[in-house]
Amino acid sequence: MTLKDLKRYLQLKGDKIEQLIRIQMPVIAGQTAVSHFKSNFRQGGFINDGLQSWPKAKREGKDKSAGSNYKTLLSGRNHLYGSISYIPGDSSVLIKNDVPYASIHNEGGTIQSHPTVTPKMRKFAWAKYYEALKVPKGSKVTKNATIPEDARRWRNLALTKKTKLNIKAVMPKRQFIGESQELTEKLQAKLEQKLEQIINH
């Protein structure tokens, strides 16, 4: 191999490595990251130096609850889970989730809202009250009957004289996107594999 051939060979390899870094790796990294972050949902925690389990949702495991069969942050629609995506750039990639409530789940925090009490809301509260009592709707409840705490809350909402509610909820941190040691190792391995293919072929 002449010096000119060597120069051409190194230039070709250099071009391929540059293309790998600028164009191919952002796509590979995006796909790998999305897959990694979705696995957090399936495992019920954030994978970073091992699994950091999320606090369980109150609905989990409750009998007859519509969402009781789903793991924390999962549902029949899986909107939060399915909204993790990536945008590849030049030597970079953006991982995102555009769901409005993604940030509060990922970072934790306090939510405050002031919904208006409507007749429809009161009707719903009465239905939930009888559901919590486990008696048919319209049945009379005796004065000495023990009323469960959740039923009492629904009754209070149905009977409130307020026109607006002041609701404050503290959301625990359930991180599903962020820096991860395991993800970094996966990306490093994929980069090394691609570089090796370029150098050896």
Pairing of strands 84-88, 51-53: unpaired
| Domain count along the chain | 2
In a domain, 171, yes or no: no
Q: Does residue 28 lie in a domain region?
A: yes
Residue type, 170: V
161 and 187 in a single domain? The answer is no
Regarding whether 18 and 46 lie in a shared domain, the answer is yes
Predicted model pTM: 0.76
Can you give the pLDDT of all 201 residues of the chain as single tens digits?
A: 677 777 777 788 889 999 999 999 999 999 999 999 999 999 999 999 999 999 988 776 665 555 567 788 888 889 999 999 999 999 999 999 999 999 999 999 999 999 999 999 999 999 999 888 877 666 676 666 788 888 899 999 999 999 999 999 999 999 999 999 999 999 999 999 999 999 888
99 and 183 housed in the same domain: yes
- Whether 58 and 133 map to the same domain: the answer is no
Three-state secondary structure along 134-176? CCCCCCCCCCCCCCCHHHHHHHHHHHCCCCECCEEEEECCCCC
Q: Domain range for residue 39? A: 3-114+176-200
Q: Based on the fold, state whether residues 73 and 148 are members of the same structural domain.
A: no
Task: Answer whether residue 141 is part of any domain.
Answer: yes
Same domain, 51 and 141: no
CA distance 169 to 192: 46
